[in-house]
Amino acid sequence: MSSQSYWSNRRRLVAIGAVTLVAAVSFASGCVVAAQPHMMNALAALQNARTELQVAEANKAGHRVNALRLVNEAIGEVQAGIAAGS
């Protein structure tokens, strides 16, 4: 094998290795960002709260309705945060 062929193959292998490394790091960092267990837990808790408010007695001087509105708003914010972090 000639010296030129050896260095050409070596450069090609280094380039392939670098691309593979960049792809692996990008994938791993994407997985870390995408895994948002606290945001997902918060979303589940808010959805549970919404369900409880929906089945609660209606006569609460408007506080149940206001709480339901705020919980729905919070659900939207958590969903937006999850989307922004993905």
Q: Both 21 and 57 in a single domain?
A: no
Range of the domain at 73: 36-86
Q: Both 52 and 86 in a single domain?
A: yes
Mean pLDDT of 4-30: 69
pLDDT for res 30: 59
Q: Is the pTM of this model over 0.75?
A: no
Q: Both 45 and 84 in a single domain?
A: yes
pLDDT for res 41: 96
* Nearest-5° Cα angle at 26, 23 to 30: 140
Q: 59-72: b or e for each residue (b if 16 or more CB lie within 10 Å)?
A: eeeeebeebbeebe
**Residue 83 to residue 35: CA distance in whole angstroms:** 11
Question: pLDDT (tens digit, 9 = 90+) per residue, 34-68?
Answer: 689 999 999 999 999 999 999 999 888 999 999 99
Q: Both 19 and 49 in a single domain?
A: no
Q: Both 19 and 60 in a single domain?
A: no
